[in-house]
Amino acid sequence: MALLSLAHVNKRFGGVSALTDVGFQVEQGEILGLIGPNGAGKTTLLNCISGVFPLDGGSIHFAGQRISGLPPHRIARLGIGRTFQVVKPFLSMTVRENAAVGALFGASNLQPRQAFQAADDVLELVGMAAKSGNPVGSLTIPDRKRLEVARALATKPRLLLLDEVMAGLNAVEVDEALDMVRTVHQSGVTIVLIEHVMKVVVGLCQRVVVLNFGQPLAAGTPEEVLRDERVIEAYLGEKYAARVRRAGG
């Protein structure tokens, strides 16, 4: 049975259909990429899964339990962690305290003493142990993104939703972040990630789902999907797709 399964998910904002009839499944232990042009509805979909937005139709099941309709904190408690594309750190706290809040709540739900120990473990895992006493205000953007992952990870999720954790990073930082995601995955967490950096998508994901105008456009391995004409068309326009077709044929 799939860990996460979406069926006929619909979301509207006023007259705009942000998501139309989206359905796919995420298997236990895989890394699934969620790609698509800007405005395709990727982040909206993450918001729907984590309970930030209510659905206008369809259903989402996690580990056999229906989670659509539940508030965000209930979904977090069941074992879904997420990061935000625009990082949302607790600014007055240190790095360690940020991670500890994750460990106090979510699926881990620890008492303060144990939560700080769990926070140390998670910071070690994402490579931030040396900065654990720093105030968050002093962190660089890549470190803030790392912290965002650490905090989500501290909730002990079975499924982690990563929203563009590589965006804005330089080549070296992307490599570091790739290692971090691999480490997290090896610790037994199923991952769904939104990404624009194709190196990341190809390097990490076993399977990719492409969204376009709020609808699923294609799904498959990264290689299959990136060769798909409809995907090339959606990203680069019809003319470019035609050129690829001529060159290929």
Partner 1 sequence: MPDSQPSGSFSTRPDAGGRRLRRVLLAVFALAVLLVLIAPLSTSDQADALGLPVLVDKSQIRILTTIAMFVVMATAWNLVGGLTGYGAFGNVAFFGLGAYACAVLVDPHKFHLPMLAGIALAPLVPIAFAVFVGLPLLRLRSHYFSIATLGTAVAVGEVVKNVEYLGGANGLFPPIVRRGDLLFLYLMVAAAAIAVGSVYLVLRSRFGYGLIAIRENEDAAAVLGVNTTLYKVAAFALAAGLTGLAGAVFAVWNSFINQELGFSLDFNIQMILMAVVGGAGTLFGPVLGAILLELLLQALAGQGTVAVYAQIGLGLLLAVTVIFVPRGLVDFFGGSSRLSLGYLRRTLRETSV
Q: Name the residues that contact partner 1, by CB under 8 A.
A: 50-52, 71-73, 75-77, 81-82, 84, 88-94, 96-97, 100-102, 104-107, 109, 111-113, 115-117, 132-133, 151-152, 155
Own/partner pairs for 224-231, CB < 8 Å, 24+ apart? 225/35, 226/198, 226/202
CB closer to partner 1, 75 vs 218? 75
Residue 121 Cβ, how far from partner 1 at the closest point, in Å? 13
- For residues 168 and 130, the answer to whether their CB atoms sit within 8 Å is no
CA–CA gap between residue 131 and residue 124 (Å, rounded): 10
Q: Which of 231, 188, 170 is nearest to 33 (CA)?
A: 231
CB closer to partner 1, 110 vs 174? 110
90 SS3 class? coil
Residue 135 Cβ, how far from partner 1 at the closest point, in Å? 9
79 SS3 class? coil
Those residues whose C-beta lies under 8 Å from the C-beta of residue 73, and which sit 6 or more positions away, are 105
Residue 6 Cβ, how far from partner 1 at the closest point, in Å? 18
CB closer to partner 1, 148 vs 233? 148
Residue 112 Cβ, how far from partner 1 at the closest point, in Å? 4
CB closer to partner 1, 156 vs 207? 156
- For residues 26 and 17, the answer to whether their CB atoms sit within 8 Å is no
Residue 138 Cβ, how far from partner 1 at the closest point, in Å? 11
CB closer to partner 1, 107 vs 244? 107
